Structure 1
Amino acid sequence: MRLLIIGAMDGQIGAASKIAMARGAKVSIADDVEQGLEALRGQGADLVMIDVRRDVSRLVEALEVERIVVPVIACGISTDASAAVRAIKAGAKEYIPLPPDAELIAAVLAAVTAENHAIIHKDPRMAQTMRLAEQVAGSHASILITGESGTGKELMARFIHDKSPRAKARFVAVNCAAIPENLLESELFGHEKGAFTGAVARRIGKFEEASGGTLLLDEISEMDIRLQAKLLRAIQEKEIDRVGGSQPVKVDCRIVATSNRNLEDYVRQGGFREDLFYRLNVVNLGLPSLRERPLDIPILSDFFIKKYSETNAIAIRPLSPEARQMLIKHSWRGNVRELENTMHRAVLLASGATIGPEAIILTGAPLGGHDPVVSQVTHAAAAVMSGAGATQGLVGRTVADVERDLIIDTLSHCLGNRTHAATILGISIRTLRNKLKQYSEEGVSVPPPAGGEERASL
């Protein structure tokens, strides 16, 4: 992990740095926000710690404007509680008091940056896919991972990186569907100062960040066909041109791309360049849907129950046989992601000694053109009402009110990421944006977009 510390902290910075480095972090230091931004533009970071006496608000706003996605935590030696509150309100994810406590810093670093990349499986179909992935991971070939949404394509890309000779270098992911097409070129290739309005300084792109490591182009089929030509050149020549630049920049990164489309069909339809398809499709890994790997449903369910019980400090309850059969028989259009969300809800809704059918809310196609959010919320309310009076807070409220709170709470849980929130809710990103626009016009406070998403997308 690369940690950037901004501020002097009256001598405590050395102690904080040593603790972070003892936990495996590579630490760099900047005296103020401007120096910190220069470091982020030039070399990036996985986490930023900033002294509360520096301008936390300025840092967070600049990160949003420049679309630099990195979590920020504030720290300080002051006992002034208001300083910590201001930092959190400005956008810091956590606050650490100094002098530093080793265990506290370790816990916060883990909470902010930890990601679980385990691929849980037992089914022979998935085991076969994993063997193929491990076999090709050691090569330098480009890999195309295909499969339905929610099957774990990004997890597979990380698995390939971790098993490759580049494992000690960076893994950089770009969601081609989440970034507006007019910004994606700069995101990939970087830009020079003054290249366009808002380009306040030179910034390296994801190709340069990933040089020596792996670059994941997530949902590459959503990339504009005009940009695909520049991408093809970058992959073939191993060099990129920053937007507004005059000299090519050499890069060396392994490309892994994902798509939930049938790219061969999309090529025939004219939506994807054939030459780029063949350049990416040196090895194709097709991930099976969850319904094609039924033996994985029980073990994944147990894994998510344990995960979210621990996250929410709830006693771990086993699945009842009836609930387990419900899960096995479900079609799982959203695959592992849908199962994860279902088990998260079940952990929160269960009230007995086991997680029974009353806690299992299964999503499905809305009937008769009803709003999908309303259908889901109504289903949730009905399911919860059957469970030992656990819905006293819902009685007397309209479905619209419950729907709004569900959307806002989900968005907050996703730290403002519209794409992730829409996936969890089971609705399209367009539907979510329309809802948020309506709430904003009604005066409801809506969480701001995550750093990698454009505010204009609202």
Structure 2
Amino acid sequence: MRLLIVGTLKGQLSIATKMAVDKGAAVTNAEDIETALRVMRAKGADLVMVDVAMDVRALVQAFADEMIAVPIVACGTSNDARAAVAAIHAGAKEYIPLPPDPELIAAVLAAVADDAKQLIYRDEAMARVVQLANQVAGSDASILITGESGTGKEVLARYVHTKSNRAKAPFVAVNCAAIPDNLLESELFGHEKGAFTGAVARRIGKFEEANGGTLLLDEISEMDIRLQSKLLRAIQERVIDRVGGTRPVPVDIRILATSNRTLAEEVRKGTFREDLLYRLNVVNLKLPPLRERPADILELAGHFAKKYAEANGMAPKPLSAEARRQLTVARWPGNVRELENTMHRAVLLSSGPDIGVDAIRTPDGARLDERRGPDAVAAQAAIAAEAVTRGLVGRTVADVERDLILDTLGHTLGNRTHAANILGISIRTLRNKLNQYADEGHAIPPPPQGEARYEMRYG
């Protein structure tokens, strides 16, 4: 990852820099805010660490004025509590006390990198996707990653990058859904000084930031169709035009894109270019929703439980049998993202030796097995179905059939005609079965009075 440190590199800040380099970060230093802006315009960064002795608020504002979005972490001596609070209020995401702790530096870098180099999976459905990803990762082919929101599309994209020949080069992601249409062009292709109001200096875009590496276009289906034509040219020609620029800029990148929509359907609607779809969809990695990869649920749940226990300074706890069952039968409309948040809550709410079902709760505080709505109904139906299935294991088909017939007959208060209709068999077949069960010594519900007379006359 790319780390920019703002401040004079001396003493304890130099030690923090060395630790970051040891953890694999590519570090650039800027002694003042103007230099930091030049670095961000020229090549960008994934994380900025700033000395609290600097004007943190001015740095945050300078980045905001030029629409530069990057997490900022403040660093300062451990006894400088007032400066730490001021830095957080000014817009810093975290505060790292100096002298630095190697594990804390590593944790911050891992958090920014999203710890996405490792894929957690066990289900065969997911294994097939990963196998295909491994097959195509070494090429420069464009890849379209599709799936519902929260299935892990960006995580898979980062995995493909780490397995590619560009792994040591930048991985740059841009969320097409999070940036207004009028700003996305500048974000992607950069701009020249004076290109529009607020363009106070030349700034490179994500294409140039990713030069030599991988560019992820996240949720590309949200991109305005007018910008799609410029994107298509950039992908085909491997050149871009900065906003306000007079000459094309060559780029060497590999394009990955994600979408939670069916792009073929968007093409039919006229909101997505068909030729762009062909360019992006050389290979399609389709991530199944979590409900279709049940073996991954407990694997991921255990991973998140351990992760958030460590993050909160708590001892890891196992999941109880009932909690495991509830997690398995839930529908997870939010997929892996929802499961992760649920396990984070569970770690914090659990009070016993294990994570019990009482700790598995929805954001509004309801137990997972008490959730209302269509997903809750489906989950409860799954639980009931599982109970029924478990009760049938080890029994013969003849025994199950006999109990079904007798239970149905009891439900109809002995009415043979109604029971036959419910069971979908003829009345003759039903009578023959009942005669067999009677001969075997089973109690047969008597027919109602009217039907009994019919049985006597015509049975």
| TM more than 0.5 | yes
Q: How many percent identity over aligned positions?
A: 65
| Residue aligning to 1:200 | 200
| Residue aligning to 1:142 | 142
Q: Matched residues in 2 for 1:13 and 1:361: separation?
A: 42
1:269 maps onto 2:281 in alignment: no
Q: Specify every segment of 5 or more residues in structure 2 that has no aligned partner in the other structure, as ranges.
A: 372-459
1:84 Cα offset (Å): 3.1
CA contact (8 A) 1:9 1:76 kept: no
CA contact (8 A) 2:146 2:286 kept: yes
Q: Matched residues in 1 for 2:146 and 2:16: separation?
A: 43
Q: Residues 239 and 323 from structure 1, CA distance in 2 versus in 1: closer, same or farther, beyond 3 angstroms?
A: same
Q: Matched residues in 1 for 2:276 and 2:164: separation?
A: 23
1:49 Cα offset (Å): 2.5
| Residue aligning to 1:341 | 341
Q: Residues 52 and 328 from structure 1, CA distance in 2 versus in 1: closer, same or farther, beyond 3 angstroms?
A: closer
| Residue aligning to 2:394 | none
Q: Residues 78 and 27 from structure 1, CA distance in 2 versus in 1: closer, same or farther, beyond 3 angstroms?
A: same
| Residue aligning to 2:366 | 379
Q: Matched residues in 1 for 2:78 and 2:121: separation?
A: 48
| Residue aligning to 2:114 | 115
Q: Matched residues in 2 for 1:112 and 1:331: separation?
A: 28
1:286 Cα offset (Å): 0.8
Matches within 5 A, 1:232-381: 232-362=232-362, 377=364, 379=366
Q: Matched residues in 1 for 2:49 and 2:5: separation?
A: 5
SS of corresponding position for 1:216:
strand
| Residue aligning to 2:410 | none
User: What code does the residue aligned with 1:312 have?
Assistant: N
| Residue aligning to 1:106 | 105
CA contact (8 A) 2:4 2:47 kept: yes
User: What code does the residue aligned with 2:218 have?
Assistant: D
Q: Matched residues in 1 for 2:369 and 2:326: separation?
A: 17
SS of corresponding position for 2:134:
helix
1:89 maps onto 2:89 in alignment: yes
Matches within 5 A, 1:380-399: none
Cα deviation 1:194-230 (Å, max 9, x = unaligned)? 1111112111100000110000001100111111111
1:97 Cα offset (Å): 4.9
CA contact (8 A) 1:94 1:108 kept: no
| Residue aligning to 2:62 | 62
Cα deviation 1:266-293 (Å, max 9, x = unaligned)? 1111111000000101111111111111
SS of corresponding position for 1:379:
coil
1:110 Cα offset (Å): 3.5
SS of corresponding position for 2:364:
helix
User: What code does the residue aligned with 2:284 have?
Assistant: N
| Residue aligning to 1:218 | 218
CA contact (8 A) 1:238 1:252 kept: yes
1:334 Cα offset (Å): 1.3
SS of corresponding position for 1:317:
coil
Q: Residues 16 and 153 from structure 1, CA distance in 2 versus in 1: closer, same or farther, beyond 3 angstroms?
A: closer
CA contact (8 A) 1:217 1:255 kept: yes
1:44 maps onto 2:44 in alignment: yes
Cα deviation 1:336-372 (Å, max 9, x = unaligned)? 111111211222222222222222225xxxxxxxxxx
Q: Residues 331 and 97 from structure 1, CA distance in 2 versus in 1: closer, same or farther, beyond 3 angstroms?
A: closer
Moved more, 331-340 or 312-321: 312-321
Moved more, 295-304 or 10-19: 10-19
| Residue aligning to 2:447 | none
Cα deviation 1:23-46 (Å, max 9, x = unaligned)? 333322222111111111111122
1:304 Cα offset (Å): 1.2
| Residue aligning to 1:402 | none
| Residue aligning to 2:180 | 180
| Residue aligning to 2:440 | none
Q: Residues 181 and 156 from structure 1, CA distance in 2 versus in 1: closer, same or farther, beyond 3 angstroms?
A: same
CA contact (8 A) 1:186 1:243 kept: yes
Moved more, 320-329 or 348-357: 348-357
SS of corresponding position for 1:168:
coil
| Residue aligning to 1:159 | 159
| Residue aligning to 2:391 | none
User: What code does the residue aligned with 2:27 have?
Assistant: V
Matches within 5 A, 1:403-418: none
1:309 Cα offset (Å): 1.5
1:78 Cα offset (Å): 9.8
Q: Matched residues in 2 for 1:101 and 1:324: separation?
A: 39
Q: Residues 308 and 55 from structure 1, CA distance in 2 versus in 1: closer, same or farther, beyond 3 angstroms?
A: same
CA contact (8 A) 2:4 2:49 kept: yes
Cα deviation 1:303-357 (Å, max 9, x = unaligned)? 1111112112233222222221112111121111111112112222222222222
SS of corresponding position for 2:366:
helix
| Residue aligning to 2:432 | none
Moved more, 111-120 or 153-162: 111-120
1:17 Cα offset (Å): 3.7
1:75 Cα offset (Å): 3.1
1:52 Cα offset (Å): 2.4
User: What code does the residue aligned with 1:18 have?
Assistant: K
User: What code does the residue aligned with 1:135 have?
Assistant: Q
| Residue aligning to 2:376 | none
CA contact (8 A) 2:142 2:282 kept: yes
Q: Residues 357 and 279 from structure 1, CA distance in 2 versus in 1: closer, same or farther, beyond 3 angstroms?
A: same
Matches within 5 A, 1:416-427: none
Moved more, 107-116 or 184-193: 107-116
CA contact (8 A) 1:47 1:113 kept: yes
Q: Matched residues in 2 for 1:355 and 1:15: separation?
A: 40
1:380 Cα offset (Å): 6.4
CA contact (8 A) 1:358 1:383 kept: no
SS of corresponding position for 1:377:
coil
Moved more, 335-344 or 242-251: 335-344
User: What code does the residue aligned with 1:229 have?
Assistant: S
1:13 Cα offset (Å): 5.3
Q: Matched residues in 2 for 1:121 and 1:275: separation?
A: 34
CA RMSD of aligned residues (A): 2.4
Q: Which has the higher contact order (CA 8 A, sep 6+)?
A: 1
